[in-house]
Amino acid sequence: MNLKAEFINPFLEATVSVVKTMAALEPVPGTPSIKKESSSHGDISGIVGITGEAEGSLSITFHKDCILHITSQMLGEEKKEINNEVKDAVGELTNMISGDSRRRLQLLGHTFQGAIPSVVSGPEHEIKHITNGPVLSIPFATKAGGFTVEVCFK
């Protein structure tokens, strides 16, 4: 599938909308880039598979400070470590961003299904999407640090 601008905005807008709604925090998107090969590094990530018009994968990767801030905002109490509650929050954010992106794509006439998200934690882990197609990478800044959304299709 061609990763043209039409496909970038639904993921970008869904991410801003979900984080804003869930954490009362406005993430500022940086310049999206499309790479032939890409891997993101962070401390905790949500990953969810996509099928339908094309097969793909969506990941959202946070550094520790950023997700602790977002989760503290979401849960209304300060989180100091990546525990089970934080992992579940990342799963919930991933599910909501996957769902909201697909809803926005549906409005443009593109139908996709989403799988169950998995949450990966571990200091400085790396995620690599296994595809010959392009990988769309969107960096976001928050006052507590950044996170990265990556989307790829076959």
Give the list of residues 6+ apart from residue 77 with CB closer than 8 angstroms, or none.
none
Closest approach, Cβ 46 to a second copy, in A, equals 8
Closest approach, Cβ 102 to a second copy, in A, equals 11
Closest alpha carbon to 18 in 72, 97, 91: 97
* Interacting residue with a second copy among 3, 19, 48, 68 (CB under 8 A): 48
Phi/psi-derived region of residue 16, left when phi > 0, alpha when psi is between -120 and 50, beta in every other case:
alpha
131 lines the binding site for a second copy (CB under 8 A): yes
* Interacting residue with a second copy among 3, 50, 67, 68 (CB under 8 A): 50
67 lines the binding site for a second copy (CB under 8 A): no
148 lines the binding site for a second copy (CB under 8 A): no
What does the CA dihedral 140, 95, 25, 79 come to, rounded to 10 degrees? -100
Footprint of a second copy on 15-34 (CB under 8 A): none
